[in-house]
Chains A and B, each alone.
Chain A
Amino acid sequence: MTDTSDAAAKRARRLLRCYPHVWRARYGDEFTQLLIDDMSERPRSMRRTADVIRTGLLARAASAGLAGDALEPQQQIRCGLAAVGCALIAFLAFGVAIWSQLTIGWQWSAPAAPATKTAMLVMSAVILVFVVLALLAAIPLAWTLFRTCVRGRVGGPFAPMTSVVLGAALLVVGSIHFGHGWPGTGGHPWAGRDIVPGPVARFCWAATLWITSYWAHPGALASFPTSEITWMVVSPIALLAVLVGAANTLRRLSFSHRVLRYESWLGTAAALAMAGFLAGASCWIISGSPAPHGLFRVGAIDLVALVVMAVALILAFRAAQRALAASLIRSATR
């Protein structure tokens, strides 16, 4: 092989990474060869690179159940629900970060602006809805996991389940520990007058401490205690471990169509709840009126969070809609 064809093969393999694993397993070799042949004729082509990136992203969206018709209905439902779950976790991480910041402000002084008060009430109510939905979703999943474990059918579930347990334990213990530094009490003896119970607000604040604009200000961040900075690095990793472990555990389980249809309805409900939460958060951010003492002030990180939540909402809606449509089609054809 010449240096030129070596370089072409290397570039082709790099471009191939735009596609998901399943697609690469089926078409990888022949597509790489086509790219090498094309490069031998036209060594540099922006159009080719853009085309590969575009179609690669589309193939990834299709494999996640967000686009196209490449998946079987059963697979479409599972992938769609997994996409809803991931979008929901990203949404909640940023949403809870905003919400718990606002609870600090309220602990010091109730917001004067009606928009902020409404936003807090809406967001708090929606968080309750999320808790109910999570419990409703978890019951059949936990039951299926329990039954499968009892029958000894799950293939190697211990590694992913260990990841979930360890990650969750670290998150809970760390959040309780670092929650003691919660600025919400402010030294006031009348702490607890917030609409949200102090321990809940403090736990959520500590769990989402890593969502902060301090990352863009390393000088200010360096003045934080080392243990707190370590927690800000470790806590998102622990959250990721829980997510990956849960996804891998669920992937090894086989669910009945009824359970999948039920989860699809819950996914749609969760997407609607996300829309409600985002409306509440937007209400506060758009009004942007700081209360006395600069409490409830909108910062850059809140705008970033709003964008992340909007993107997550769009993805969750699309995935939930497609999962529900697939489950209804499957019901109709049974």
Chain B
Amino acid sequence: MARTEAPQTDESTKSEALSTLGRYAGPATLILSSLADGTKHGYALTKDIEAFADVRIAPGTLYEALARLERQGLIEPVESHDRRRPYRLTADGALALRVHLNSQRRVADVGLRRLASSTGTP
């Protein structure tokens, strides 16, 4: 019993890590999603997020979110000899993102299902 419960407690803690970001949850989800396929520096993050989400995160907002995510241990900087310092997702960050996106998907599924049943369109 304890062995099956432990990961759930961990998952709920990691889910809270993103939900406590409040108004920063949007940029944080986009940044974590962007880092999910590998390390990226600030400008690469901006361009990648613009490409997959059609959202341009302004530099100040990007670093505000990066600093918070780093403090929470969800991302970490990678050693670099360049001024463009890359960041990568930590194991905690990956777990938090998975939990958060799954909960978002549940909300999206319910919304779409209810829309389909009320309007009759899939």
**A residues apposed to B, CB below 8 Å:** 23, 26-27, 29-35, 37-38, 47-48, 51-56, 58-59, 69-70
Contact = CB atoms under 8 A, between A and B. Distances in A.
A308 B119 CA distance: 57
Interface of B: 41-43, 46, 58-64, 66-67, 71, 82-85
A68 to B, nearest CB: 8
Contacts of A48: 58-60
Nearest to A31: B63
Contacts of A30: 41-42, 83-85
A34 B71 contact: no
A48 B60 CA distance: 8
Given A29-B83, A58-B64, A34 B42 contact: yes
A18 to B, nearest CB: 8
Given A26-B67, A51-B61, 8 more contacts: A23-B67, A31-B42, A33-B43, A34-B43, A34-B46, A34-B84, A47-B58, A55-B64
Contacts of A47: 58
Contacts of B84: 30, 33-34, 37
Contacts of B58: 47-48, 51-52
A34 B59 CA distance: 7
23 contacts: A23-B67, A27-B67, A29-B85, A30-B41, A30-B84, A31-B42, A31-B59, A33-B42, A34-B42, A34-B46, A34-B59, A34-B62, A37-B42, A37-B84, A38-B43, A38-B59, A47-B58, A48-B59, A51-B61, A55-B60, A55-B61, A55-B63, A69-B71
B63 A51 contact: no
A72 to B, nearest CB: 11
